[in-house]
Amino acid sequence: MSAGPTPGRPGHDVGRERTAVIVEDDAEIRSLLDEVLTQAGFVTYTAVDGISGVELVTRTDPLVTTLDVSLPDIDGFEVCRRIRAVSNTFVVMLTARTDEIDALMGLDAGADDYQTKPFRPRELRARIEAILRRQRRDAPPGAAGAASPAAPPGPTVPTPVLPDGSDPAAPTTAVGLLVDTAGRTVSVEGSEVHLTRSEFDLLAALARAPGRVLAKDTLVRVLWGDEYDAGTPVTPADRRSIEVHMANLRRKIGDDPSAPRWIRTVRGVGYRFDQRA
């Protein structure tokens, strides 16, 4: 079951910016999300189960999708995977589950952010706005000529990293690894590896600062965007999300944390990229 825009709101062309889909079976939370997103300038569409949520995203191609994990038909992880097959919408998963494995599954399914309930409306809105400052998507990955979620076509915004004097568009190479920032592609031993936006942005930030330790707080702000509200503190949950993204990234590029080829953990601080000749 799904609904169109709330009556009385301005019309909105399908696929245009500031459209959001809410996939949530709890009526109270669904209403709260609708209020938060409407106040942020979105035209909202709602679905109460996973199947109709995927159909709604396919039909409207929203800029943002909020997705509950516990749905009455299929779980949010499977919904996210199906959404990723048809759209590069920014996905924010919402759940009452707090186990790290759930966060890992959500981010691995292709979510851009993972928030636990209860959430604070102002914080959720700020995080959604931060997500929108990152790489924009153009066409869904299933469309002709479209790229994967990690490398959407069209105008791009450079991945935000600390200035190091290098050309941000220049590819970064290490033994067996090529990170092409301009093309937003990654190759390991000559074979392309498909990463999510978050995974690519983290790898690009590390690769463009070889030998330097980037703290988890710095990497959190990489994902938030350069001009994210500097007064908003980085929380333990934010740092944990970086750890989950890094675990997924390492798995995809074949970088064993116990014997790393490229990404080294600096215990208690963050991560360092080793660029070897």
Looking at 132, 154, 189, the residue that finishes a domain is 132
Q: Do 53 and 121 reside in the same domain of the chain?
A: yes
CATH code: domain of residue 258: 1.10.10.10
Q: Verify that 37 and 108 share a domain, yes or no.
A: yes
Provide the pLDDT confidence category of residue 276 given band limits of 50, 70 and 90.
low
Residue 143 pLDDT:
38
Q: What would the mean pLDDT of 262-266 be, rounded to a whole number?
A: 94
Whether the pLDDT of residue 267 is over 80: the answer is yes
Q: Which domain holds residue 268?
A: 172-273
Per-residue pLDDT tens digits for 2-54? 455 543 333 334 444 689 999 999 999 999 999 999 998 999 999 999 999 99
pLDDT in tens, 222-253: 887 754 555 667 888 788 888 888 988 999 99
Q: Are 127 and 176 members of one domain? A: no
Phi and psi dihedrals of 264, rounded to 5?
A: -110, 135
Last residue of a domain, one of 77, 101, 132: 132
In a domain, 214, yes or no: yes
97 with 181, same domain: the answer is no
pLDDT score, position 241 = 82
Q: pTM of this prediction?
A: 0.61
Whole-angstrom distance, CA of residue 76 vs CA of residue 78: 5
- pLDDT of 79 higher than 70: yes
Q: Are residues 188 and 242 in the same domain?
A: yes
Q: Is residue 212 part of a domain?
A: yes
128 lies in the same domain as 7: yes
> Is the pLDDT assigned to residue 154 strictly greater than 60?
no
Q: Is residue 100, in this structure, part of any structural domain at all? A: yes
**CA dihedral sign of residues 182, 187, 190, 193:** negative
Cα–Cα nearest to 185, from 200, 175, 174, 173: 200
Highest mean pLDDT among 104-113, 188-197, 225-234: 188-197
pLDDT, mean over the chain: 77
Number of domains in the chain: 2
- 3-class DSSP state of 208: coil
CATH label of the domain that carries residue 77: 3.40.50.2300
pLDDT score, position 229: 54
Cα Rg of the chain (Å, integer): 18
Per-residue confidence at 166, pLDDT binned at 50, 70, 90?
Answer: very low
pLDDT on residue 104: 67
Q: Are residues 117 and 8 in the same domain?
A: yes
91: which strand partners?
65
Q: Is residue 30 part of a domain?
A: yes
Domain co-membership, 123 together with 186: no
Judgement on whether residues 33 and 117 belong to the same structural domain of the protein: yes
In a domain, 151, yes or no: no
pLDDT in tens, 195-219: 888 889 899 999 989 999 999 999 9
